[in-house]
Amino acid sequence: MNLVIDIGNSRTKLAVFDQDKLVETVQLEEFDREVISQLKTKYSQLDKAILSSVTQHDSALLQLLQTEFSYFLELSATTPVPIKNNYRSKATLGLDRLAAAVGAVTLFPGKDLLIIDAGTAITYDVVDKEKGFLGGNISPGLRTRFRSLHHFTGRLPLLAPTDQWPDIGTTTEEAIHSGVQTGIISEVESVINKVKSSWPDLRIIMTGGDAEFFDKKLKSSIFVKFEITLLGLNRILEYNVKND
């Protein structure tokens, strides 16, 4: 069995896989290494692990994983993956973006794909049907836009996303909601349409903490899969175990 650990900007996700079957997920606002021991106790066959992190790794965590698992893989820019990475600056490509692309190819083999990860940042990544990672775009995420307006101005309040808002705001709060949310939806639709012009049979997969906000609000048909990055990390782990 496999343990997948994905340390992101705002939360940590852990998942247990039995080969390619997702068995359990755990989400933490603050990472606690004790959770690994608890999962090891619960699943006695848990013997392989992969770690992906957007931040500097905790040396104690690395030592724990190296000690407790017979096979441990720390994902890096040089880790072999089951897709062709055509990104020119491979060393700076976010590992979460790469893992999500692998997860999307695992779910939809032989398809042209646009993976949208809506979190602290919104990332848009294209993978063609030959499993080539072509690159993508990065822009501020939904909550980042609200925080930026509050932080970089003197009097604008800090707001949270809402499901209903007017086209034209008649209060400052309404104006912020309308500007941020209408703007970000227009951006996502514009990127989708631009990518579709080159790949008409495109499959669109959305993930990330704000994916639910966009679901049903976009005109384009999207497939929401919150575990896509975890699925991709597990696939990378299995690929390296097989080819090691």
pLDDT in tens, 55-109: 777 788 899 999 999 999 999 999 999 999 999 999 999 999 999 999 999 999 9
Indicate the SS3 state at residue 95.
Answer: helix
Quote the CATH superfamily of domain 1-74.
ATPase, nucleotide binding domain (3.30.420.40)
Q: Which positions make up the binding site for substrate?
A: 87, 94-97, 172
CA 20 to chain centre: 18
The pTM for the full model equals 0.92
Q: Where are the domains of the chain?
A: 1-74, 81-243
The answer to whether domain 1-74 and domain 81-243 are alike in fold is yes
Residue among 20, 96, 201, 215 flagged as catalytic = 96
Indicate the SS3 state at residue 226.
Answer: coil
* 81-243 belongs to CATH 3.30.420.40: yes
Does 244 qualify as catalytic in the annotation? no
- pLDDT per residue over 26-42, tens digit each? 999 887 888 999 999 99
Q: Which positions make up the binding site for ATP?
A: 6-13, 120
